[in-house]
Amino acid sequence: MAKFQSLKEAVAENLRDGDTVAFEGFTHLIPHAAAHEAIRQGIKDLTLIRMTPDIIYDQMIGMGLAKKVVFSYAGNPGVGLLRRMRDAIENGWPRAIETEEHSHAAMANAYEAGAAGLPCAIFRGYRGAGLREVNPNIRSVTCPFTGEELAAVPAHRPDVAFIHAQKANRRGDVLIEGIVGVQKEAVLASKRSVVTVEEIVDDFDDLHPNLCILPHWTVTSIVEVPGGAHPSYTHGYYDRDNAAYLEWDRVSADRDLFTAWMKENVLDAGPEIFAARVKEL
C-alpha cells in the first residue's frame, strides 16, 4: 500500500547510501524534483541506472552522488554532451565513476526482465556493435529451439525507482498520460518505489481504466510535487523548457559556475521551486 509523504520523507526512507537506483522518464516526466532532494540529502555511492541519462544525472554526478552509471546514450538531448559526466570520467571530478554502457534495446529489455523476476534479458541485438568489447556484461546465448545466437544482459533490479506522473488517487493508484518510457517496468523491477505527481485526486472514476499504469500495491511512496518534472515536460500540464536545456550546457561547462548554480537552485531551494518555474513558461 502506497504511503503519502513529503518529498523529504520519501527520499530519506527509500534511498540509502550505496543503493542502485533508477530515476526514469523518457524525455517526458523526468523526476527532477526527486533527484534534487537526493542531492540535498547528500546520499552517496549510488549506482545510477537510466535510459538516456540527461541533465538529471549530470547534476547528480557533478555533485558526487554517483559511483557508477549504467546507461544507454549519455547526452543533453538536442544540445550536446553531459559535461559533468565527462569531467568525472576523464578527470575524476568531483570523483571517479564507473560506467556500463548499453543500447536502448538492452536497457528496455533489462527492465522488462527485472519486472518479470528473471535473472537476465535475452533479445536480438548488438550484432556488429563494438559495445561487447568494452562491456563484459554483454553476453551471448544460443536459443535451445532454433540454434540462433542471441544477446543477453543482466536484468535491472534496482533497490529503488523514482518516477513522475500526472496523477495519483487517494488509494495510491498512479495515472500516466502521453509518452510512457520504462517507468512501469522500472517500478515493478525495484524493491521500493517513489512516485512524484502533479496532483492527488479523489478517484479515477471518470477516466479510462487503462490510464492506471501502476496500482497502489506496486508503489511504496507517493508525493505531490507540482512541476516536479521541470525542465522536462508533463503532458497536459506544461511544455518542455528548451531554454533550460540550452542554459545547462553553459552552466555545466565550468566547475565554479556549476557549483554556484547548484547551490542556488538545488541546495538552497526546495521542491516548491518547480511549481514556480512552470508558471513562468
Average pLDDT for the chain: 95
What b/e readout covers 167-205, taking b as 16+ CB neighbours within 10 angstroms? bbbeebbbbbbeeebbbbbbbbbbebbbbbbbeebeebe
Q: Is residue 136 part of a domain?
A: yes
Torsion of CA 217, 71, 112, 197, to 10 degrees: 30
> Which domain covers residue 139, as residue numbers?
104-154
| Digit-coded pLDDT (tens) for 34-78 | 999 999 999 999 999 999 899 999 999 999 999 999 999 999 988
Q: What is the pLDDT of residue 129?
A: 85
Q: Residue 206: is its pLDDT beyond 90?
A: no
Q: Is residue 119 part of a domain?
A: yes
Q: Residue 123: is its pLDDT beyond 80?
A: yes
**Closest by CA position to 163, among listed 117, 101, 225:** 225
The mean pLDDT of 216-232, rounded to a whole number, is: 97
Q: Is residue 133 part of a domain?
A: yes
Task: Name 268's Cβ contacts closer than 8 Å, sequence gap at least 6.
Answer: none
Q: Residue 278: is its pLDDT beyond 90?
A: no
Q: Residue 212: is its pLDDT beyond 80?
A: no
The mean pLDDT of 98-126, rounded to a whole number, is: 97
Q: Is residue 21 part of a domain?
A: no
Q: Residue 273: is its pLDDT beyond 90?
A: no
Q: What's the whole-model pTM score? A: 0.96
Give the dihedral sign, CA 255/30/219/99: negative
How many structural domains does the chain have? 1
E strands, 102-144, are 120-123, 139-142
**Closest by CA position to 253, among listed 133, 65, 19, 81:** 81
Q: What is the pLDDT of residue 135?
A: 96
Grid cell for residue 113: 526482465
